[in-house]
Amino acid sequence: MSNSITLDGKVIPFKEGQTIMDASLAAGIYIPHLCHDPEFTPHGSCKLCTVNVNGRHMTSCTMPADNGMVVENNTPAINDDRKALVQMLFVEGNHTCPSCEVSGNCKLQATAYYLEMLSPHFTHLYQPRAVDASHSEIFLDFNRCILCELCVRASREVDGKNVFGISGRGISSRLVVNSESGKLRDTNFAVTDKAAHVCPTGAILIKRQGYRTPIGHRIFDEKKIDEIKIEPDNEQA
């Protein structure tokens, strides 16, 4: 007998070892997320994929699916919590969508649209953050980092390089470059690295590419984030 969970009232199958997120992606059901990518080890840090499982809050990217689970995902209450999380991300960093060259390709922006965020709501922290333009092909804007660690995981797990890390705790947490100078130019980071292409915001930018695709024709200009199919990688069963 095949395994299944009920997600927003719909019965969907899952394979042994899959998480709720894996099952939802395979079924084409969108659960908002920013720190998750099926290619890398689940992290569970952005909390956007939190769902209600049998009455308890769980991050769907880390919670293994279990036969008969009843999962609530797309409810007004859960989406309100998600919107507050996104609003906090917006005020914690310096996200200026109208002047950002990643506008239209940015998952943070697209998620805010999906959740119908109309204002940041909270007070901006306006933290002073540097940029790193030292690398010949890649620009780092720490103002836009949401600490999802996708670049950290991609560099470590796929590129085998360990270019990035997270330093500090709590509100002092920040992305760091693992070189003695702290500059990207002093690492072996390459524009072809997976880590150069996973950032869900505009924190890691490929130089001289920003406006190759005109505004109005970018990924999330064409489709809403919940309409884009992401392939799950967890096919082990």
| Shorter beta-carbon distance to ligand SF4: residue 48 or 145 | 145
In whole angstroms, how close is the CB of 119 to ligand SF4 at the nearest point?
Answer: 22
**Least CB distance from residue 199 to ligand SF4, whole Å?**
3
CB of 76 to ligand SF4, least distance (A): 28
Shortest distance (Å) from residue 124 CB to ligand SF4: 18
In the complex, the smallest distance separating the C-beta of residue 95 from ligand SF4, rounded to whole angstroms, is 11
Closer of 27 and 230 to ligand SF4 (Cβ): 230
Nearer to ligand SF4, 110 or 203 (CB): 203
Smaller CB distance to ligand SF4: residue 70 or 125?
A: 125
Of 128, 129, 139, the C-alpha closest to 184 is 139
Nearest-5° angle of CA 116, CA 27, CA 150? 65
Helix axes 107-114, 76-92, angle to 10 degrees: 140
Can you list the pairs that 3-12 forms with residues at least 24 positions away whose Cβ atoms lie under 8 Å? 3/65, 3/67, 4/67, 4/68, 5/65, 5/66, 5/67, 5/68, 5/69, 5/70, 5/71, 6/68, 6/69, 6/70, 6/71, 7/71, 7/73, 8/71, 8/72, 8/73, 8/74, 8/75
Chain positions contacting ligand SF4, by CB under 6 A: 145-151, 175, 198-201, 203-204
**Shortest separation between residue 140's beta carbon and ligand SF4, angstroms:** 7
- DSSP H or E stretch at residue 114: helix 107-114
Of residues 160 and 214, the one with the C-beta less far from ligand SF4 = 160
Cβ distance to ligand SF4 smaller for residue 7 or 145: 145
